[in-house]
Amino acid sequence: MTGLSINTNLGTLNTVRNLSTMHRSMRKTMEKLSSGERINRASDDPAGLVISEQMRAQIGSIAKEITNLDLVLAKNKTADSHLMQMENTLIDMREVAVAASSTGYVDEEMTQAYESVLNDSVKSVNRMAEEASFGNSGLFDGSEGSVADLKELSTIDFSDPEQAQNAVGKIDEKLAELQNVHGELRAKSAYEVRAMRENLAVTQQNLAESESMIRDADMAKLQTELVSQKLKVNIGTALLAQGNLMSKSVLGLIQG
Read off the pLDDT of residues 22-63 as tens digits, 9 standing for 90 and up. Answer: 777 777 777 777 777 777 777 778 898 899 899 999 999 999
Q: Whole-angstrom Cα distance, residue 189 to residue 195?
A: 9
What's the start-to-end Cα distance of the chain, in Å? Answer: 26
Compute the mean pLDDT over every residue in the chain, rounded to the nearest whole number: 81
List all residues 6 or more positions away from 215 whose beta carbon is below 8 Å from its beta carbon.
Answer: 37, 38, 39, 48, 52
For residue 29, give the amino acid letter.
Answer: T
Residue 153 near residue 122 (C-beta atoms within 8 A): yes
Question: Does the pLDDT at position 7 exceed 60?
Answer: no
* CA quadruple 194, 198, 199, 204: dihedral sign: positive
Question: Does the pLDDT at position 254 exceed 50?
Answer: no
Q: Whole-angstrom Cα distance, residue 24 to residue 32?
A: 13
Question: Does the pLDDT at position 248 exceed 60?
Answer: no
* Closest-CA residue to 81 (of 185, 195, 171, 174): 185
Between β-strands 137-138 and 133-134, what pairing exists: parallel, antiparallel or unpaired? antiparallel
The reply to whether the predicted model has a pTM over 0.75 is no
Residue 39 near residue 217 (C-beta atoms within 8 A): no
* Closest-CA residue to 215 (of 57, 38, 95, 21): 38
Q: Tell me what pLDDT residue 241 has.
A: 67
Q: Whole-angstrom Cα distance, residue 79 to residue 138?
A: 10
* CA quadruple 36, 38, 43, 48: dihedral sign: negative
